[in-house]
Chain A
Amino acid sequence: MESPRSTPNRVVLTLVCIVLAVLLLADFASVQANRIVPGQGLGLFKALGSVWASGLIAGLLAIAALAWRPNPLRYRLMLALVVLLLCQLPLSLAWFIHLHIADDQPYARAGIAAGGWTLLFIGSLLLIECRQRMQPAPFWWRAAPLGLVLISAWLIYSGDLAALSLLREYSSRRSEFWQALAGHLSLVGGALLGSLIIGLLLAWLTLRVPRLQRPIFGLLNFFQTIPSLALFGLLIAPLSYLANKYPVLQGLGIHGIGWAPAIIALVAYSLLPVVRNTSVALSGVAPAVIESAHGMGMSSWQVLRQVRVPLALPVIIEGIRITTIQAIGLVAVAALIGASGFGSFIFQGLGQGAMDLVLLGALPTIFLALLADALFSALARHCQPGVRA
């Protein structure tokens, strides 16, 4: 059957044009003889050799050709090409290192330049666009993120990417990296736990005593308006004073700087989304449902546990999701007052002008945030009450 002529997918065409322009005009990757000297950027054809580079360009052109008159079959092909494009990225980096860095150069390092980053970024956007155009999307679109992670992991494990500047930074700070991860996670976890305990209590209070709603939300809103750095700073003085006055607090590890002010500030920031979502979700349950629950002879506790909470859960989890992502970002800033976490790499890197070190802190932070987002979104979907008609 002849389908009506479809219109070009302008999003895909635009994205391909951008990535082609960047690949042809800017550097794809760079090499440095050691950490100190400035790097030398290489264009796509120089970096990967003409065969690999031509293949890459041909693939991108093929995607553009398919997007000119798209139909379901062509979207399938497009998606397959995008998956390939993303999966070959770590391989192309390994190939680049193989071509340009000899084994007897222990200090030489390879960096990803504008072209490489653009390819990763635009490739992800292409993946999202193709996925959204296909309803339902074929299950194998997941091969792209999975392949990207697995192939990278394999190449890191085998040592083929060892010369990548990011990994050079990692290998010289191996134990610090895992400490930072542990520190980051425990601060986020502690803040989450604290804000959940206090937040759920406050939410319950706003429901039982509606008069308290205004002052509570007013206070929490006020916390949100203080810049995070200022709040961290403001906490140093009172905590140092308390720690000096009561040595028992010092024994607990509470000082003006370090984890204590970080946790306090994080909890203060995290409370608003938790309290607001919980309070709105619990009070938003249809009055008829609550009335009939009471009318059936449920106790107040049964109404809360069997009706209010299950119906409110997706919105409450949404609040926890926002809180977690926010906390992951804020912990990075808390490095400035001596709290552990990936932030310390970022600020050290900024101080030394070493962008690779900044990335060593920034990339895992972004990865943690994305992971938390995916996890809590899935959890909220799982808790969706009943079946949507």
Chain B
Amino acid sequence: MTPTPMIELSHVSRLFDNAVAVDDISLQINSGELCVIVGTSGCGKSTTLRLLNKLISCSSGNIRIDGEDIAGLDAKLLRRRMGYAIQNTGLFPHWSVERNIGVVPTLLGWSPEKIKARVHELLELLSLPYAEFAHKFPSQLSGGQAQRVGVARALAGDPDILLMDEPFGALDPITRDSLQNELLRIQSQINKTIVFVTHDIDEALKLATRIVVMDKGRIVQHDTPANLLDRPVNEFVQSLLGQNERGLKRASLEPVKTHMQALSGDLPEHSVNVDDTLRQAMSLMYWHRTDILCVRDADNHAVGLLPMRALLDSPTA
């Protein structure tokens, strides 16, 4: 059985003063997917995202959300069903964190008690204690905190779909990394359909279930991160992935789990976590000048061995 697509674009184009921003793209995004649209600036990725919530209208083609053609839907009502988070947060500077997060629930006409409970829940979900943050104003937050509030606000109306336009683009690498992990953790809990736009291929490889590579308004390739690395369709995708780094990027998509061998003989001196990636295992081998690691689980029990040769085997299920 094929899952019904949550978002479906067929032959969508968008012109700006006769310049083509989005050129005849067709795309299906399934429910529960985290689809990352990646490309260089000006490739039409942000325009594509804005077509989805009608901030921009299609010049031709049509878009279906959950089976409904959005051309016939009221833009305001459509947007309230979709979370929207953008790069510079767009938080309302004159409202407290609590009121910012409560925007969509208020527009949806929820009761004040329900809104307050929802704000509470979301702040805890994003590791911002309610008592400390609810009454702060955006100017009193750090960049990372403001972006978390931006994500909380996007989730507030409990939408099926979350649209994110380079939400972590303006953050320092450490904060960006922790927010990416946070997003993956949240997604494993709430399982929304997320469309995420970025120019950072590493961010795309880390987050995506499937990646859409765009160039000059067209979709160049639409595939899983592993397939994208294994079989890039053309030189543009290859260069986007980085020629020499491809091996390491591919290794960071493979968990140690699928390459480890059964325990036998003495335990090696150095260990790797069973949930770590092959890339981290390779780094440890290089660092400790060893060709074999002991694989341990979360409780620190030895569960297998990882010799260097095993890295070259094809993964076991």
Contacts and interface: CB of A to CB of B under 8 A. Distances in A.
A288 B79 contact: no
Contacts of A387: 137, 139-140
Given A296-B104, A297-B107, A288 B76 contact: no
Interface stretch (B90-98, B123-131, B194-202): B90-98
Given A288-B87, A289-B92, A296 B138 contact: no
B84 interface: yes
Contact of A296 (B84, B88, B93, B140): B84
B55 interface: yes
B92 A293 contact: yes
- Name which of B79, B90, B140 has the most chain A CB atoms within 10 A of its CB: B90
A150 B75 CA distance: 61
Interface in A252-297: 286, 288-289, 291-297
B93 A297 contact: no
A288 B89 contact: yes
Contact of A295 (B55, B92, B94, B138): B55
Contacts of A291: 55, 86, 90
Nearest to A384: B94
B186 interface: no
Contact of A389 (B88, B90, B139): B139
A251 interface: no
Interface of chain B, helix or strand or loop or mixed? Answer: mixed
Given A291-B55, A292-B86, A386 B103 contact: no
Chain B interface residue count: which class?
20 to 34
B218 interface: no
Nearest to A306: B92
Interface string B58-99: 000000000000000001111110001011111111111000
A196 to B, nearest CB: 22
A386 B86 contact: no
A309 to B, nearest CB: 10
Contacts of B76: 297-299
Contacts, number: 72
Contact of B86 (A295, A298, A299): A295
Interface in A290-321: 291-299, 302, 307, 310-311
A293 B92 CA distance: 8
B206 to A, nearest CB: 25
A223 B53 CA distance: 46
Contacts of A296: 79-80, 84, 103-104, 107, 153
A389 B93 CA distance: 11
Contact of B79 (A297, A388, A389): A297
B93 A294 contact: no
B139 A297 contact: no
B84 A295 contact: yes
A294 B94 contact: no
A385 interface: yes
Nearest to A290: B90
19 contacts: A288-B87, A288-B89, A289-B92, A292-B86, A292-B89, A294-B79, A295-B53, A295-B84, A295-B163, A296-B79, A296-B80, A297-B75, A297-B76, A297-B80, A385-B93, A386-B139, A387-B137, A387-B140, A389-B139
Given A292-B90, A294-B55, A299-B76, 7 more contacts: A286-B90, A289-B92, A295-B84, A296-B107, A385-B93, A386-B137, A387-B139
Interface of B: 53, 55, 75-80, 84, 86-96, 103-104, 107, 137-140, 153, 163
